[in-house]
Structure 1
Amino acid sequence: MGNAAKILQRMRANPRDWRIEDLKVVADRFSIDYRQHSTSHVVFRHPVAGLLTVPSARPIKPVYIRRFVALIDLVEGKQ
């Protein structure tokens, strides 16, 4: 199991206290584009799953982690 898979597994178990860098690692693994042009938010984008905007303030609130995991599930075709 790779690092991104371990992070995703831990996100599913506990959606609290994550950093934006962790989300970027998982996004890279699942070919999800992201952009952050000197702003306080990161936009994750995938052609199948759509857009998700996440504030980059630490810690990221659990609601955004749950939405990010749902985005990953859409990319994987689990929903």
Structure 2
Amino acid sequence: MGKTVERMRANPKADWQIVDVEKACREAGVACMKPSGGSHFKIGNAGGGRRLTIPARRPIKPVYISLLVRFLDEEGVK
């Protein structure tokens, strides 16, 4: 797992932004799809399968960071 995910794991309550979520997904080899009309990013395989939805509000709530870390642990390729 990448440095960003490890930092999120250590401190989910930090002031995380959506750019940090995108970076963590890139490091883990998981797609982070921007909203086409709404305000929620979709994390997962672009072709389908399991997905996690994260609101793009700033800062992102710690519960979503914890869910993201768990999701990347389970779904991450790298």
Q: Is the 8 A contact 2:2 2:28 kept in 1?
A: no
Q: TM-score, length-normalised on structure 2?
A: 0.79
How far is 1:61 from its partner? 0.4
Runs of 5+ in structure 2 lacking a partner? none
Partner of 1:75: 75
Question: Aligned partners of 1:24 and 1:69: how far apart in 2?
Answer: 12
1:41 has 2:40 as partner = yes
Count of residues in correspondence between the two structures: 73
Specify the alignment match of 1:64 in structure 2: 64
**RMSD of Structure 2 on Structure 1 (CA):** 2.1
Which residue identity is paired with 1:43?
K
**TM-score, normalised on structure 1?**
0.78
Whole-Å separation in 2 of the counterparts to 1:65 and 1:41: 14
Name the aligned partner's letter for residue 29 of structure 2. Answer: S
Percent identity over paired residues:
36
